[in-house]
Structures are given as structure tokens and as C-alpha cells.
């Protein structure tokens, strides 16, 4: 199976965005994910001012429900270069559920995001996942931390133009 380049993923994303912006095309929408919405209780834990980068090896994935009443989400277990194991919240399954098919354990990842304490546990709330030059997925807005899975069409276009 041929490798997918970062350029290819970016090109596909750009084409999908153009289609979404077209009046005749349906909007890009994701299935509702209760508890994961922009400005919700969970979302307010993300502080873009505390943004940092983690690098390490993907150990695996786990399904999560960070707070009571939330729909299922996906987290990645990452062993950082200094040997620590970090749980990184990626987002709702409806948005990131495909990742285990694309990025497998053993991959070297670069995650951007911010640490937060949720339900008395320190977790890393990821805003971007990158697997070398092969694959990159934005999860949150760089400027204000809003989750991509809950942006409307105009906000998504604005985010894409800012990159």
C-alpha cells in the first residue's frame, strides 16, 4: 500500500473545504458528540495559553469518557522521549475513530496541545497529531482552542485560511 504524503492529506483537506464552501455542496458535519461541544464543561479545560509539544512513541489507543455523560472518545497512550507515559485525549470517536487504522502503535508522533486536570487526572488535550511527514490531523484551533469537530462552516474556512 503506498504511503500517503502530508501534501496529499493537505490537498484532500483543501478540496473537501472547497466543496463544503460551495453553496451546492453539503456542509461537512460530524455526528453530534455530547459532552465534546465547543464551550462545554470538558472543552473549558483546554487552555491554548499553556500550549506545548510532546514527541514520543505511540503505545496504543483507549476509549474514554472523560466526564460523566460524555459520548465515547479516543485517547492515545504515548511514551515520551524522557520515558514518561502520557494519556493524550484526541477527541470524540465520531471525529477521530479512524486514527487506529491510519497510525499504528510503534509510530513516532508529535502532538501539540495542553495539559489539563480532568476528573483528578493529568491528561494532555491534543490540538494536533502528526506522524512524521506522512499524516497530520488538526483537532483544535491554534488561536483559541475551539474543537474542529464542533466548528461551523464559516469558522472552519476561517481556520483554514489562517494556516
How much is the pLDDT for 29? 56
* Total-model pTM: 0.79
In a domain, 18, yes or no: no
How many structural domains comprise the chain? 1
Question: Domain span at residue 125?
Answer: 32-151
How much is the pLDDT for 156? 77
In a domain, 100, yes or no: yes
In a domain, 125, yes or no: yes
pLDDT digit string, tens, across residues 63-88: 999 999 999 999 999 999 999 999 99
Q: What is the CATH number of the domain that holds 78?
A: 2.40.50.140
pLDDT bucket at 151, cuts 50 / 70 / 90: confident
Neighbouring residues of 131: CB distance < 8 A, sequence distance ≥ 6? 102, 103, 107, 108, 109
In a domain, 16, yes or no: no
Measured CA to CA, the distance from residue 99 to residue 135 in angstroms comes to 10
In a domain, 24, yes or no: no
In a domain, 120, yes or no: yes
The region of weakest confidence among 12-21, 22-31, 68-77 is: 12-21
In a domain, 92, yes or no: yes
Amino acid at each position: 500500500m503506498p504511503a500517503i504524503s502530508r501534501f496529499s492529506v493537505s490537498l484532500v483537506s483543501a478540496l473537501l473545504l472547497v466543496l463544503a464552501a460551495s453553496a451546492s455542496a453539503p456542509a461537512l458535519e460530524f455526528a453530534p458528540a455530547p459532552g465534546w461541544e465547543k464551550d462545554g464543561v470538558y472543552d473549558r479545560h483546554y487552555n491554548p495559553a499553556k500550549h506545548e509539544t510532546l514527541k514520543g512513541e505511540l503505545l496504543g489507543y483507549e476509549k474514554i469518557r472523560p466526564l460523566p455523560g460524555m459520548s465515547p472518545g479516543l485517547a492515545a497512550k504515548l511514551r515520551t522521549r524522557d520515558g514518561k507515559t502520557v494519556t493524550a485525549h484526541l477527541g470524540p470517536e465520531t471525529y477521530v475513530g479512524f486514527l487506529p487504522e491510519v497510525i499504528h502503535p510503534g509510530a513516532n508522533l508529535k502532538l501539540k496541545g495542553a495539559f489539563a486536570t480532568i476528573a483528578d487526572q493529568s491528561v494532555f488535550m491534543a490540538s494536533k497529531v502528526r506522524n512524521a511527514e506522512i499524516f497530520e490531523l488538526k483537532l483544535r484551533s491554534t488561536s483559541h482552542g475551539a474543537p474542529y469537530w464542533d466548528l461551523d462552516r464559516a469558522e472552519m474556512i476561517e481556520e483554514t485560511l489562517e494556516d
